[in-house]
Amino acid sequence: MKLGAFSVSLAVKDLAKSKEFYEQLGFNQFAGELSRNYLIMKSGDTIIGLFQGMFDENILTFNPGWDQNAGPLKDFDDVRQIQKHVKNAGINLEVQADESSTGPASFVIKDPDGNTILIDQHV
């Protein structure tokens, strides 16, 4: 299965302070806006999303169809195909993608320890 780009989405209390902290670790702003309460920070191929007030917990995020620079991949597994595989494996879906749709969609699962995993396709 090709899950695409990987990042960790962090629920932060103070976006500006978190931005400054991660900049001190060598991360640079890649996308997002302070005024929209989220930033995507990047260091090499490592991506961290900083989100203030959008969700209560940290999330592991995979983006089918994207490489680590948010560039489109020619060959990728569609999010609905991945969702079918996950369902067939007996994994409970917290949020489901509409399997009759095409293009952008997402679904959410939790690992055995309750960590949230978002499979979020933008193409």
- pLDDT of amino acid 79: 98
Between CA 66 and CA 100 the distance in angstroms is 22
Between CA 9 and CA 31 the distance in angstroms is 13
What average pLDDT values come out for the chain (123 residues) when binned by 10 residues? Answer: 96 98 98 97 97 96 96 96 98 97 98 96 95
Contact 12, 2 (CB under 8 A): no
Q: Which amino acid is at 122?
A: H
- The predicted-structure confidence for 24-42, as pLDDT tens digits, reads as follows 999 999 999 999 999 999 9
Between CA 87 and CA 84 the distance in angstroms is 5
Between CA 105 and CA 123 the distance in angstroms is 8
Pick the CATH number of 5-121 from 3.40.50.1010, 3.30.1600.10, 3.10.180.10, 1.25.40.850: 3.10.180.10
Indicate whether this model's pTM tops 0.85. Answer: yes
- pLDDT of amino acid 76: 96
Tokens 């995979």 map to which residue?
62
